[in-house]
Amino acid sequence: MPLHFELVTPERLVRSDEVHMVVVPGSDGDFGVLAGHAPFMSTVRSGEVLVYPTAGTAPQRIAVEGGFAEVNERGLTMLAERADVVA
């Protein structure tokens, strides 16, 4: 079952799609989110989010600046002040 991942900045909706796993740079340490993760909320430090579209593939990297992440039954939502896809 894929994980629904949304990344939003104040200026636009950066991403909204189904992925395998996302690794988020939480302020108390990185954490990975798979489908079916327990409800969770954390602030995010500036760093890189790793998005794994499917299991076993190389991750896409997105640089984010400040914000927080929320995991609920609908998936993972990240609110970042800034987000740039790292080439």
Partner 1 sequence: MASLKALKLRIASVKSTQKITKAMKMVAAAKLRRAQQAAEAGRPYASRLDQVVASLAAKQTIGPNSPRLLAGTGSEERHLLVVCTSDRGLAGGFNTNIVRAARRRAEELQATGKEVRFYLVGRKGRPPIARLYPGQIVHQYDTGDIKQVAFDDARRIAEELTVRFAAGEFDVAQLFYARFQSALVQDPVGQQIIPVQLRAANDAAAPSTEVEYEPNEEEILAELLPRNIAIQVFRALQENAASEQGSRMTAMDNATRNAGDMINRLSIEYNRSRQAAITTELVEIISGAEAL
Residues engaged in binding partner 1 (CB under 8 A) = 8-13, 26-28, 38-43, 66-68, 70, 72-73, 77, 79, 81-82
Smallest distance, partner 1 to C-beta of residue 60, A: 21
Strands (E), the chain: 3-8, 13-19, 21-26, 29-33, 40-44, 47-52, 60-72, 75-85
- Contact 23/54 with Cβ under 8 angstroms? no
Tokens at 49, concatenated: 């989010």
Q: Which CB, 54 or 85, lies closer to partner 1? A: 85
Smallest distance, partner 1 to C-beta of residue 85, A: 17
Smallest distance, partner 1 to C-beta of residue 40, A: 5
Q: Which CB, 3 or 71, lies closer to partner 1? A: 71
- Contact 18/3 with Cβ under 8 angstroms? yes
